[in-house]
Amino acid sequence: MEIIKKLLFIPILFLVLPLDAKEICTLTSEVEPDVTITLKYIGSAGGIGTLNYKNKPSLGFYVGIWNGYGGQYYTAMSYSPELLDEEKTYQERTKNTEKITTGHFMNFVGNQLGRATSIEDRKSGKLRALMPSLSQGYYYSIPFTKDGEFGRQKLSKEMKTIIDATEGFFVNSGGCRKFFPYGWD
């Protein structure tokens, strides 16, 4: 009887796991698929998460929206496990991180710019993001090479892959619609 009860629970477990995965937005680099950005939505077209290399966090990542003229921005920061602690406030989550760079998080739909394309010219397409200042910001966050270790003059495979990835587009691999306020379906 006990075994039957457990067996009845198994389908429920399968139901719970996909729901949790659905809450995460995954953006995958088009040129370097080993580099992804995973974000948990916190409201106002923004969220907190990480930039990952081979599914392991390399940087902390935040996406938000600017007041005034508008537009969306990202902030890349050093990684701290506290960043993903949803029980804490934003200040608590980021207090042990160091900001690397911030800049435009440009929304594209296919090859069209989300913000600048008139309604009548819009074509459906994949949601894609371009962050034109991220590669340079990341590059300058890498310390100078010392004693034969990896550094700015001697990039590791991970560093080089992240630089190459951040020069190109990231595409929505699932769960990112809310992060594209200038996009369309």
Partner 1 sequence: MKLLLLLPLLLGLIPSVKADSVCVLTSEIEPDVTIKLQKIKGLGKSFGTLDYKDKPAYRFRTAVQNGYWKHYYVISELSSDDSKKNVDVGRFLEFVGNQPAPGTPKEDRKPGKLRVILPDMSTSYYYHLDNVPNEKGYGRFNQSPLMKSILKASDNFFVASNEECSNGYFIYGGNGWKS
Residue 14 or 69 with smaller CB distance to partner 1: 69
Residue 157, number of CB atoms within 10 A of its CB: 11
Closest contact distance (angstroms) between CB of 89 and partner 1 is 28
Residue 61 CA to residue 138 CA, distance in Å, equals 12
Q: What's the closest the beta carbon of residue 168 comes to partner 1, in angstroms?
A: 4
Residues interacting with partner 1, by CB under 8 A?
A: 31, 66, 68-69, 71, 103-104, 106, 111, 113, 115-117, 130, 132-133, 135-136, 139-140, 164, 166-169
| In the complex, minimum distance from the CB of residue 131 to partner 1, in angstroms, rounded to a whole number | 9
Please, which residue, 80 or 102, has the CB nearer to partner 1? 102
Pick 59 or 83: Cβ nearer partner 1: 59
Helix residue ranges, H only, the chain: 2-22, 90-94, 134-141, 157-166
CB of 106: closest distance to partner 1 in angstroms? 6
DSSP string for 3-25: HHHHHHHHHHHHHHHHHHHHTEE
Report the Cα 121 to chain-centroid distance in Å: 28
